A and B are shown apart, each in its own frame.
Chain A
Amino acid sequence: MRRYSKREFLRLCCLGAGSCMFGPGRDRSLPPEITSLFGFSPAGGGGKWSTEALFYESTSSGLHCLKCPHGCVLGPGETGRCRNRVNIGGKLYSTAYGNPCAVHIDPIEKKPLFHFLPSTQAFSIAAAGCNLRCLNCQNWQISQMSPDETENADLMPGKVVEECERTGCASIAYTYSEPVTFYEYAYDTADLAHKHKLRNIWKSSGYINETPLRKLCRVIDAANIDLKSFDDKVYVELNSARLDPVLRTLKVFKEEGVWLEITNLVIPTWTDDMDMIRRMAEWLCTNGLQDSPLHFSRFTPLYKLNQLPPTPVATLEKARTIAMKAGLHYVYIGNVPGHNAENTFCPRCGRIAVERRGFTVLKKEIENGKCKACGEKIPGVWM
């Protein structure tokens, strides 16, 4: 048997590895058994679906992205935490422009938005990418990917607006993944939608800097922000983000007059501390958000957080009671089919102002934005 020296052996190994890795070419023609082993992704991004990003500055160490509080500094060829902002040739590009990976039509109640154009449908789009890393992400297959790794539609802003009108939707929702990361695409689409008398909905974790947010408020009509907890430590561990920027986002939306609803997912052992929920509700009231609907949503095991039980309904009911005692006027319970707290109750007379079941409005006892029974103003955009 021929004996190889160590040097010869290593050279052979390197050649073998090289031919395996680069020989066949990193393209779609490789069988999925091989591509899934190495994580090759089809070529994409750039070109048609790229646009120069807004909000960045050039520094000595690279391009400093100013869109979200992470403030990534990107060297040549590097991609931000959001997976869709790239430094190409000294300019920051968004690679999520006109290439949504999810395009659906949803009832607006599914966002959830209960006080904004009830019973209408929202033309909903998302491009791949997210600036958070939530362990329980429902849409991880698009949020934890870059646009290069997803199957995308070809839907430039003009086409989105056209499709929205064609399908009879009243609004366009920027949702599912994280619209902060496809800001440029969403902004241009929203701007065009306004010209066509369509409304725009922002469904987001609210992890964005103030300047881009204030600009965004010019074209957004309603927002639902996930306030994932009221504890900075939980934010860091569960979502890889911080609490304060999200609280600032809530205040800015309020100041800018955008209709705002808030979702809080109650996760056992993570965010089901009733004292934390009381502090959260008090902060909302203190900051003038007592009329912004708060949706307590039931957790079910998802993605990596699959070794926890679903939130007991009793826990959600307790949270709701605490939030209402703290002064919030409209507190709902979500993800519990048939629960009474899907309805809107008039804070003055206690009667049902909007009766809902699921995503369907059964009865609306509101006229000119006021409770039909007692005349109390029920805040919202009711058509």
Chain B
Amino acid sequence: MENRRAKDLAVAVAALGMTSLATQVILLREFISVFQGNELVIGVVLAGWMMLTGAGAFLGRFSAPLSVRPSVPAAALACSGVLPPATVLLLRTMRNIVFTAGSMVGILQALAASLVILAPFCLLSGFLFTFFVHLISSIEGENRTASVYAWESLGGTAGGAIFTLALTTFLETFQTLFILLLLDLGVALFLAWKARAAVAAAAVLIVMGAAITALLTNRADTWTRRFLFPGQEIVYFRDTPYGNLTVTRQGGEACFFENSILMFSTNDVTPNEESVHYCMVQRPSPRRVLLVGGGISGTTTEILKYGVQRVDYVEINPWIIGIGRKYTRVLEDSRISAIGGDARMYVRSTANRYDAALINLPDPATAQLNRFYTLEFFGELKHVLNDSAVVSISLLQAAEYQGNEARRLSSILYMTLQRVFAHVLIVPGDRNYFLASDGPLDIGIARLIDRRAVSTLYVNHFYLDDRLIARRSAEITSAIDTSAVLNRDFKPVCYYRQLAYWLSYFGFYPGPWLLTAGFALLLLLGRFSAVGAGIFAGGFAASTVEIVLLVSFQVLCGSLFQMTGIVITAFMAGLAAGTLLAGRIVRRPGIDNFIIVQFAVSVVCLLLPIVLLWLQTMISYPLLVQCVITAIAFTAAVLTGIEFAIATRVRRGGTTEVASELYGLDLFGSALGALFISVYAIPLFGLMSVSVLAGVVSAGGGVLSLIVRKRYAAYA
């Protein structure tokens, strides 16, 4: 940028980009923590975010009158810094006032809440994009949409690097947001000073003082979190990269929550005994036990009743082991080895062999959890099991009856286990426990417990009648659908079924909504230019590639939480690089090159399955996988950035009209990708097909541009 004022404003745009990305990451974590943390809620919140920002960009068309007032950029940036902490405050304090206390929030409620709560920030940030495009373009005397997009992406890159990789790991939510606010206020002060807007500068200084005070006193997190746990004393909380952990105390008992969902409480006998004894009692002398998750609830105490030599307890979130050591004594025995890390990576690398493996995890409601319910995982697990070792894994089921969704879910898990193990046995309890082994399995749990003289409070003949359990087990097994699709790493059907099961809580059927949304989309796209449709397709393809890469990395190398930050940062950097360098890479930014780039995006998407298959053979080299995935994210983003930059040249119309349409459609396309791909397409069609779908959509955009090429050719 040539003009000095334009350069100052570019700093503001970068600050806006940084605020937007960091806030997105933090608010998403808050939503997961406050509402139910499954893929559907994440998809809904992300889609809501992008659509509101897109709508804000469209509204930015009316921002021209504001550009004459010199204090507006400073005031706008200050507002965009203040809104994120205000949003979190609102979310936490209103959760149990607007919604029933202690009750899960339905999908439509989550959607409505996210739209209402996110609206102020998202509408403002989208609006400001168009506003800055108009302001900078009018100062420079030419359309600078691409430059603003690039600066925003650069800010996003910094936001991704600083906030998602560094600060969110060490700081609490409000601490991070106050630091972000101070950065925004610093830039706002700079702009106000440059614009000689004394009142605005004074106002910014006052807010700055308040923010510094709030940061130093550091009370906001403690105070607001109390609203989420009414009637309980909070003794510990921490925002870990894997989710929020809270320990509360009530009536002398400690309760451990992850993302507001109870993981376990002390003195909860039934789940501890069921998850251990149904499996352990199957073999006369299990010596070495692998425990995946849930080791601080008291399960280790139950396992040790069998006189085992060693219990290797693998927990993905090391902070859980930390609170276990602090608030319980269940990890004190020297035979227990607590390992912080991804259990799949551990299973692949360990030389140990086990007589029993207890998979003690929540239901597979997310892609992350689904990895422990797949054919590939069971295959890997089998390699570390001794002959006739027993595996136990469970699903939550209603007490007396399995509904259709529950039956489908059970069928998938049963058939997937049966593909790997010779015998699978369902033991109905508070949850349904699936035991799998190559050796024989016995449903006579109470008899076995009596014979072994294991001391238990619940799993014994006083509570369990072997005859009745056998009868119920037979009923459930006979209802298994033997044609059920197997749950695979790259085609994770279980989490779709788990989401469908969750939706059945609310009697919610997404079909009519999908149809309505599809029609609305067609109507919307019909109103825009072919270039706009191409940008929409590009946004869709780009967000699909990003999601496919993140899920693939999880599947291949475990959940390195930093990887999400790395991929997002690489993606933002790619967008910035592509947009900034578009002029150098593409000499003539006309419709022909726009078409070529669209097909190039398509080629990247279509090649993705081949790369993924290759990466599957390279899982022993996680660094290589990480580098390749990062490189693909960067490449796809560079192409998307170039595509956007060319589109701003090809698309006819005034600056604000072009900026608002293209930016908005890019976000709408991304929103569709975020929701449809992560929730529906990946679990049902698999990662490979989804990549192909993204390629086809992008190529479709290219074909559309090809058809109307002549209309734009004159402008090239």
Contacts and interface: CB of A to CB of B under 8 A. Distances in A.
A107 B465 contact: yes
A106 interface: yes
B253 A309 contact: yes
Contact of B251 (A141, A300, A315, A338): A315
Interface residues of A, number: 58
A176 B270 CA distance: 21
B97 interface: no
Interface stretch (B84-92, B380-388, B397-405): B397-405
Nearest to A311: B251
Given A304-B505, A358-B462, A269 B408 contact: no
A310 interface: yes
Interface string B685-716: 00000000000000000001001100000000
A270 B462 CA distance: 31
A269 B268 contact: no
A151 to B, nearest CB: 7
A34 B514 CA distance: 12
Given A303-B505, A309-B255, A359-B462, A145 B403 contact: yes
A301 interface: yes
A149 B100 CA distance: 27
A36 interface: yes
B127 to A, nearest CB: 29
A337 B400 contact: no
A269 B230 contact: yes
Given A102-B400, A151-B479, A36 B509 contact: yes
Interface string A121-155: 00000100000000100111110110001110000
B522 interface: yes
Contacts of B707: 1
Contacts of B471: 104-105
Contact of A312 (B230, B252, B404, B504): B252
Given A37-B514, A105-B468, A313-B267, A32 B250 contact: no
A164 B512 CA distance: 45
Contacts of A218: none
A60 interface: no
B440 interface: no
B522 A309 contact: no
A141 B406 contact: yes
A22 interface: no
Interface in A105-124: 105-107
A56 to B, nearest CB: 26
Contact of A126 (B101, B268, B400, B403): B400
A150 B403 contact: yes
Contacts of A357: 462
Contacts of A304: 100, 103-104, 505
Nearest to A137: B398
Interface string B330-365: 000000000000000000000000000000000000
Interface in A35-50: 36-39
Interface stretch (B62-70, B181-189, B257-265): B257-265
A106 B400 CA distance: 11
B527 to A, nearest CB: 10
A59 interface: no
B526 interface: yes
B268 A310 contact: yes
B456 to A, nearest CB: 9
A54 interface: no
A137 to B, nearest CB: 9
Nearest to B459: A337
A301 B468 contact: no
Contacts of A312: 250-253, 267
A126 B401 CA distance: 10
A17 interface: yes
A357 B101 CA distance: 34
A308 interface: yes
B484 to A, nearest CB: 10
Interface string A155-177: 00000000000000000000010
B676 interface: no
A1 B708 contact: yes
Contacts of B472: 104
Interface in B135-169: none
A156 B710 CA distance: 74
Nearest to B407: A151
B511 A37 contact: yes
Contacts of B260: 307
Contact of B400 (A139, A145, A307, A315): A139
A237 B102 CA distance: 12
Given A38-B511, A142-B401, A358-B458, A309 B523 contact: no
A7 B484 CA distance: 43
Nearest to A303: B505
A309 B100 CA distance: 15
A308 B465 contact: no
Contacts of B621: none
Interface in B94-153: 100-104
Contacts of A276: none
Contacts of B505: 140, 303-304
A148 to B, nearest CB: 12
Contacts of A144: 507
A359 B463 contact: yes
A9 interface: yes
B232 interface: yes
A178 to B, nearest CB: 13
Contacts of A138: 398-399
A381 interface: no
A269 B251 contact: no
A315 B526 CA distance: 62
A248 B519 CA distance: 53
Contacts of B404: 32, 36, 149
B104 A33 contact: no
A383 interface: no
Interface string A306-326: 111111111100000000000
Interface string B388-422: 00000000001111111110100000000000000
B639 interface: no
Contact of A38 (B265, B479, B512, B523): B512
B462 A309 contact: no
Interface string A202-221: 00000000000000000000
A229 to B, nearest CB: 14
A36 B405 contact: yes
Given A1-B707, A141-B403, A309 B250 contact: yes
Contacts of A269: 101-102, 230-231
A349 interface: no
A135 B511 contact: no
A317 to B, nearest CB: 9
A63 interface: no
A268 interface: yes
A33 B102 contact: no
B262 A139 contact: no
A104 B339 CA distance: 43
Contact of A9 (B267, B461, B509, B522): B522
A301 to B, nearest CB: 5
A368 interface: no
B455 to A, nearest CB: 11
Given A39-B507, A269-B102, A310 B514 contact: no
A171 to B, nearest CB: 16
B398 A32 contact: no
Given A1-B708, A301-B262, A313 B251 contact: yes
Nearest to A14: B519
7 contacts: A1-B707, A37-B511, A306-B104, A310-B262, A337-B269, A358-B458, A358-B463
Given A104-B471, A338-B457, A357-B462, 4 more contacts: A39-B509, A102-B401, A268-B250, A360-B462
A-B pairs, top 8 by smallest CB distance, nearest first, are A312-B251, A37-B511, A39-B509, A358-B462, A358-B463, A38-B511, A141-B403, A308-B102
